[in-house]
């Protein structure tokens, strides 16, 4: 045991020497970084052992592994955490993430894909109670219907994130579960391909998701989310169901606001039954009525681009999609793609073309809003639902045009309120 521990520490230390060069560090600093990563890796061993991972599997998993400093969400020396956010949902303007052409192509592909797997899709909907079109929406976003490739070795990215990422504790647990997947021979070192965050297989499951939600619907005795499309679809459905999906409830509706309701109403803190939104004058675009049977369903306003694009009333099922990937844009993308596959058209409201503010400006706005009493709990440089809401409330209270989007006028007003010239 001791010899193996020393051997892996030495191997990791030697292989991570190159890593220090990427940081622009001195020779001494490079050696220190190598030693720190090796020490981190060895520190994971007791947890892996407790989870049933053998030392042979552990050593084999980390053989030749170096940190991958190219992936997003790392806290690198000399950089603030908010300078390293790279996930598309948080760095692209909404009209770019919700690209019209991409959505159109995926909708066409989704219709063909669903026709190919129609018997399985119907079985999954009956057995697990999850809408088939939502499944197609997730499948399109995650895999482009089989066209997406996973470029990373799962253990490498999980270890990197657990060592120097923003969410170390979460990824440390996922790393242990990833090692358990190797021990249980669910995957091999060669086949453990993942996203930059360690998500694997066709439905993009984190290791813990596999153990919680993987589902064998094709009856071969294996929960195969890598090669079996039916199993992968059923596993995604099983996860949605476990998070509370309710069949027959739409994810949301594109809406138009009356003059007395602005985008500062956004967010789950202001959710209310659909009937109450109707009393406020909120209407569906295109003149359609809200379904009578859903009027008691609670919903909240979602405006991913503030007042600069489509707005929605979203239901509890929107929260379920968001639990699959914690991003408003992701949930809107999946929901809208599902609607397009079911036969709906493009958004009725056009995007006005929103620029993405630099992360440091978003951070400053969040910090200044928090300092003057706004309900900003996390300063993270992301333009999330609560940040948009707090911007809108500040704008409303200070006589600025309410668009719920971080811009120069809002930042200038916040600086002025703080006495900064």
Share of the chain above pLDDT 70, in %: 88
Mean pLDDT computed over 147-169: 92
Give the pair of three-digit tokens for residue 379. 């300063």
Provide the pLDDT confidence category of residue 78 given band limits of 50, 70 and 90.
low
Q: Is the pLDDT of residue 415 over 90?
A: yes
Q: Is the pLDDT of residue 21 over 90?
A: no
Q: What is the pLDDT of residue 26?
A: 52
Give tens-digit pLDDT for 341-399: 999 999 999 999 788 788 899 999 999 999 999 999 889 888 999 999 999 999 999 99
C-beta of residue 294 within 8 angstroms of C-beta of residue 258: no
Nearest Cα to 158, choosing from 103, 187, 200?
200
Provide the pLDDT confidence category of residue 421 given band limits of 50, 70 and 90.
low
- Domains, the chain: 2-84+151-194 (no CATH), 252-314 (no CATH), 359-417 (1.10.101.10)
List b or e across 287-312, with b for residues whose CB sees 16 or more CB atoms inside 10 angstroms. eeebeeebeebebbbbbbbbbbbbbb
Instruction: Kindly report the backbone phi and psi dihedral angles of residue 295, in degrees, each rounded to the nearest multiple of 5, phi listed first.
Output: -65, -20
Give tens-digit pLDDT for 244-259: 999 999 999 999 999 9
Give tens-digit pLDDT for 82-102: 444 455 555 678 999 999 999
Give tens-digit pLDDT for 302-347: 999 999 999 999 999 999 999 988 899 999 999 999 999 999 999 9
Mean pLDDT computed over 213-241: 96
80 or 335, higher pLDDT = 335
Give tens-digit pLDDT for 135-154: 999 999 988 887 667 899 99
Tell me the Ramachandran region of residue 419: left when phi exceeds 0, alpha when psi lies from -120 to 50, beta otherwise: left
Q: Which residue has tokens 């929960």? A: 223
Measured at the CA of 104, the angle between CA 103 and CA 109, to 5 degrees, comes to: 95
Give the pair of three-digit tokens for residue 121. 């899709």
């Amino acid at each position: 045991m001791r010899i193996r521990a020393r051997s892996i520490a030495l191997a990791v230390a030697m292989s991570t020497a190159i890593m220090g060069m990427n940081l622009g560090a001195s020779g001494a600093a490079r050696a220190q970084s190598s030693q720190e990563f090796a020490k981190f890796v060895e520190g994971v061993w007791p947890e892996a052992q407790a989870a049933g991972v053998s030392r042979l599997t552990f050593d084999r998993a980390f053989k030749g592994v170096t940190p991958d400093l190219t992936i997003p969400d790392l806290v690198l020396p000399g950089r603030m955490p908010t300078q390293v956010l790279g996930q598309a949902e948080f760095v692209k303007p909404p009209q770019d993430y919700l690209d019209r052409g991409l959505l159109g192509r995926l909708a066409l592909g989704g219709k063909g894909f669903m026709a190919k797997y129609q018997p399985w899709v119907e079985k999954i909907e009956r057995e697990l109670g999850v809408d088939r079109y939502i499944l197609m929406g997730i499948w399109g976003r995650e895999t482009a219907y089989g066209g997406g490739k996973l470029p990373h070795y799962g253990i490498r990215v999980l270890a990197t994130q657990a060592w120097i990422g923003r969410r170390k504790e979460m990824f440390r647990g996922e790393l242990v579960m990833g090692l358990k997947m190797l021990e249980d021979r669910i995957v091999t070192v060669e086949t453990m391909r993942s996203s930059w965050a360690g998500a694997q297989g066709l439905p993009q499951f984190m290791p813990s998701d596999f153990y919680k939600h993987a589902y064998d619907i094709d009856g071969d005795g294996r929960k195969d989310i890598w090669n079996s499309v039916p199993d992968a679809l059923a596993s995604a459905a099983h996860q949605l169901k476990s998070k509370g999906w309710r069949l027959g409830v739409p994810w949301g509706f594109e809406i138009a606001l009356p003059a007395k309701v602005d985008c500062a109403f956004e967010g789950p803190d202001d959710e209310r039954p659909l009937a109450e939104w109707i009393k406020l004058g909120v209407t569906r675009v295109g003149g359609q009525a809200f379904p009578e049977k859903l009027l008691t369903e609670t919903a909240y306003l979602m405006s991913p681009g503030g007042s600069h694009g489509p707005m929605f009333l979203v239901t509890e099922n929107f929260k379920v999609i968001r639990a699959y990937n914690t991003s408003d844009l992701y949930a809107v993308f999946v929901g809208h793609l599902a609607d397009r596959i079911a036969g709906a058209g493009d958004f009725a409201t056009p995007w006005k073309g929103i620029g993405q503010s630099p992360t440091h400006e978003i951070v400053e706005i969040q910090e200044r809003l928090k300092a003057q009493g706004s309900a900003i709990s996390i300063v993270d440089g992301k333009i999330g639902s609560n940040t948009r809401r707090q911007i809108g409330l500040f704008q409303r209270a200070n006589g600025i045009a309410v668009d719920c989007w971080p811009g120069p006028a809002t930042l200038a007003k916040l600086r002025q309120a703080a006495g900064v010239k």
